[in-house]
Amino acid sequence: MKIDMITFIQEKLIILTSKKYSKKYISQYIVPIINNIYYSKDNKFIIAGPQGSGKSTLAKLFKLVIEKFYKKKVMLLSIDDYYLSKSQRLILSKKIHPLLLTRGVPGTHDIKALKDHVNKFKNQNFPINSPTFNKLKDDINNKRNIFNNSEILLLEGWCCGSKPITNQYLFKNINSLENTFDKNNNWRKYYNFLLRNEYKSVFSLFDKQIYIQAPSFKYVLKWRYHQEKRSASKSNNKNFMNISDLQKFIQHYEKLTKWMIQTMPAKSDIVIKLDSNQKIKKLLFKVDKYH
């Protein structure tokens, strides 16, 4: 029996999230985004949002649906898969700043490799072999993703598309990590410089920006913890971060995440507004002047 698209999405969301979403919800909030991607004259899209907001899940879903029902091959990349190895970050932490040992901020990715792969897609120069990263081991996997052809490129990642932070906000201490370990602002200045230069040169290759907006930063810890537990459960690995470790970890992301919550909606083509339960409550399309 041939399955319809709404039912297919519903079934895939159960697998991806362990939650059942109504067909009305899917029709109202998921299908319009997929149609916007498919019918767009553009073919390179960024999907950004805070940690744990569901960007990876949505990106996987978009790829599955577009390939099955619209018969277009999708190349899905995650900026998280381009993290530098543990040993590379150790060198960086000794040369530049100790906080760069922790993955996350701009400067802890192999941004040159990502740019090369985006340009190869743009020029339809296949195959493209992209890296994968194991977050539980905090290191690069041996396995690589191989794309032999693609017509649509999706790049998902928490910092993707962000503008550099203004100095006024950059130099304001907003948590104990900044106050204790970055008193001279060198870590912040370093990642913001890269965001303004190398990262911008990659993000500018994309045609459209989709941003998932959390109600506020306070939900990031809760959502990220659920994500951590789910990821560990799927891989039968009990070595996941507890709440206390996670609170310290996300301080590395806090400033840029808060900055993006403030600034990204105005510069994005599609804004996906989430409620406190991580469900979509509103879609804003720039072409529709956000009505």
Cα gap 194→109, rounded to integer Å: 11
The pLDDT score that the predictor gives to residue 241 is 65
> 56-78, pLDDT tens digit by residue?
999 999 999 999 999 999 999 99
8-28: per-residue pLDDT in tens? 999 999 999 889 999 999 999
Q: DSSP character for 3?
A: P
Host H or E run for residue 274? strand 270-274
Pick the more confident residue, 288 or 161.
Answer: 161
pLDDT of residue 291: 33
Q: What is the mean pLDDT of residues 276-283?
A: 94
DSSP run (H or E) holding 123: none
Q: Is position 287 within any domain? A: no
- Segment among 71-85, 241-255, 269-283 with least mean pLDDT: 241-255
pLDDT-derived band at 289, boundaries 50, 70, 90: very low
pLDDT band of 288, cuts 50, 70, 90: very low
Q: What is the mean pLDDT of residues 93-98?
A: 97
- Domain span at residue 176? 5-276
Provide the pLDDT for residue 247. 83
pLDDT for the residue numbered 287: 65
Among 108, 207, 229, 231, CA closest to 158:
108
To the nearest whole number, what is the mean pLDDT of the chain? 92
Q: Is residue 156 part of a domain?
A: yes
Q: What is the pLDDT of residue 124?
A: 97
Q: What is the pLDDT of residue 222?
A: 80
Calculate mean pLDDT across residues 149-175: 97
Q: Pairing between strand 128-134 and 139-147?
A: antiparallel
Nearest to 74 by CA among 37, 109, 40, 39: 37
| Distance (Å, whole) CA 186 – CA 99 | 10
Q: How far is CA 257 from CA 49, 129, 157, in A?
A: 8, 29, 11
CA distance 110 to 73: 25
Span of 129-133, 168-172, 244-248 with lowest mean pLDDT: 244-248
Q: Which is it for strands 270-274 and 74-78: parallel, antiparallel or unpaired?
A: unpaired
What's the confidence (pLDDT) of residue 268? 97
Residue 227 scores a pLDDT above 80: no
The predicted model gives 210-225 an average pLDDT of 88
Is position 226 within any domain? yes
| Cβ atoms of 213 and 271 closer than 8 Å | yes
Q: For the chain, what is the domain count? A: 1
105-115 mean pLDDT = 98
Position 188 in a domain: yes
From the list 43, 73, 42, 78, the residue with the least C-alpha distance to 59 is 78
CATH code where residue 35 lies? 3.40.50.300
Q: What pLDDT does residue 12 have? A: 96
pLDDT of residue 60: 97
> Residue 161 in contact with residue 203, Cβ under 8 Å?
yes
Give the percent of the chain with pLDDT over 70.
92
Query: Is the pLDDT score of 281 beyond 70?
Result: yes
Residues pairing with 154 in the sheet: 45, 76
Closest CA to 103 of 122, 76, 81: 81
Q: How far apart are CA 160 and CA 79, in angstroms?
A: 8
